[in-house]
Amino acid sequence: MGLDALLNRMQGRESVTPVTPCYPAGVTAKPAPDKACTLVTPVTPQIINSEPANETPSQQEQADLARLVARVCRAYDCHDAEISQAIETALADYCDALTCYTDLAKQAGMTLNDDRRMCFECAELSGSYCMAARRGEIKGADRRYEPMPYQPKRCDKFNAR
Ligand code: SF4
């Protein structure tokens, strides 16, 4: 199932596009004053009201959203190119996308506490190649190792971008 089909199915909307993926009715384009859009994760365990409502999401928040989008898309068998596009679209509209993809993750029965990372988040990924493997640092891996960028994993050589 492609990303568009996934989002159409989940929301029952025909007008869903990759640019306006799946925002439920009643969700505004702006963050709620109480920052209710903040994803609850082990890193951000509760809603914090001490910051201005329209603050730009931090790098960590953006990384968390990108990982969430990738996981949701993977759960629905989206292709790598679709996942990449979905991440880009989501980061351009952080708050609504966070609401949307958190909903989708819950509907799919996914846990939000998955601490595995993906190669697309790793500074060692250059093009499609793993530079750590190229240096021979990943035991058992070919030096031309091309990891799946959106496959959750635990890797000793993970190096956050
Ligand atoms: S070091 Fe590990 S996480 Fe990073 S790109 Fe290579 S295989 Fe992926």
**142 C-alpha to center of ligand 1: Å?**
12
Q: Say whether 40 sits in a helix, a strand or coil.
A: coil
Best substitution site from 116, 122, 150 to test ligand 1's pocket, by max atoms within 8 Å of Cβ? 122
Is the CB of residue 129 less than 8 Å from the CB of residue 145?
yes
Please list the alpha-helical segments (H only) found in 76-110. 80-92, 94-107
The domain spans of the chain are 59-107, 116-161
- 84 CA to centre of ligand 1 in angstroms: 17
Asked if residue 27 lies in contact with residue 93, where contact means CB atoms within 8 angstroms, the answer is no
| Residues 6+ away with beta carbon under 8 Å from 43 | 60, 64
Query: Distance, CA 154 to ligand 1 centroid (Å)?
Result: 9
Burial of 16 (0-12, 13-18, 19+ CB in 10 A): buried
In this prediction the pTM is: 0.66
**Which residue minimizes the CA distance to atom 4 of ligand 1?**
158
Q: What percent of the chain lies above the pLDDT cut of 90?
A: 52
Query: Counting Cβ atoms within 10 Å, is residue 103 exposed (0-12), middle (13-18) or buried (19+)?
Result: middle
Q: Between these two residues, 47 and 157, which has the higher pLDDT value?
A: 157
Which residues are near ligand 1 (CB < 6 Å)? 119, 122, 124-125, 130, 132-133, 147, 155, 157-158
Residue 23 token pair: 């925002």
Residue 108, pLDDT score: 87
C-alpha span between 153 and 115 (Å, rounded): 9
Find tokens 């990891």 and name the residue.
147
Quote the pLDDT of residue 126: 96
* pLDDT per position as a tens digit, 122-145: 999 999 999 999 999 999 999 999
| Gap from CA of 144 to ligand 1 centroid (Å) | 12
Ligand 1 centre from 17 Cα, in Å?
Answer: 32
Question: What's the angle, vertex CA 77, arms to CA 74 and CA 78, rounded to 5?
Answer: 80
